[in-house]
């Protein structure tokens, strides 16, 4: 399954993560999953939300640098027999 992932660039300072989360909550946009990577100066919040287009517009309107990429979910493969072989075969065949 393909999802739209938003990457939001944040300054690495206390409270920086709360602002995009507050904006999304106020617009009733739910975060399905997220990860956060940081360096000394900045962080990247990567998340899948239930309305990526609305979230992108909202965050950009409030000055955030946002990038949208397609990502894949392997959740639906784990219930299948030989799912690892299926997953790697699918990737090797260039289906990504």
Instruction: Set out the domains of the chain in order of their start, with CATH numbers.
Output: 2-92 (3.30.2130.10)
Which pLDDT score, from 0 to 100, does residue 85 have?
Answer: 54
HSE on the CB side for 58, CA within 13 Å?
A: 18
Tens place of pLDDT per residue across the chain (96 aa)? 788 999 999 999 998 999 999 999 999 999 999 999 989 999 999 999 999 999 999 999 999 999 999 987 765 555 555 555 555 555 556 554
The set of residues, in sequence order, having a beta carbon less than 8 Å from that of 1 and lying 6+ positions away, is: 72, 73, 75, 76
CA 18/CA 15 separation, integer angstroms: 5
């Amino acid at each position: 399954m393909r999802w739209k992932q938003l990457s939001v660039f944040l300054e690495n300072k206390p409270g920086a993560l709360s602002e995009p989360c507050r904006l999304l909550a106020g617009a009733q946009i739910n975060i399905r999953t997220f990860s956060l990577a940081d360096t000394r100066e900045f962080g990247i919040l990567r998340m899948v939300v239930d309305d990526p287009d609305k979230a992108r517009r909202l965050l950009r309107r409030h000055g955030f640098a946002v990038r949208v990429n397609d990502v894949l979910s392997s959740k639906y493969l784990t219930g299948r027999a030989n799912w690892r072989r299926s997953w790697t075969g699918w990737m090797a065949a260039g289906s990504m």
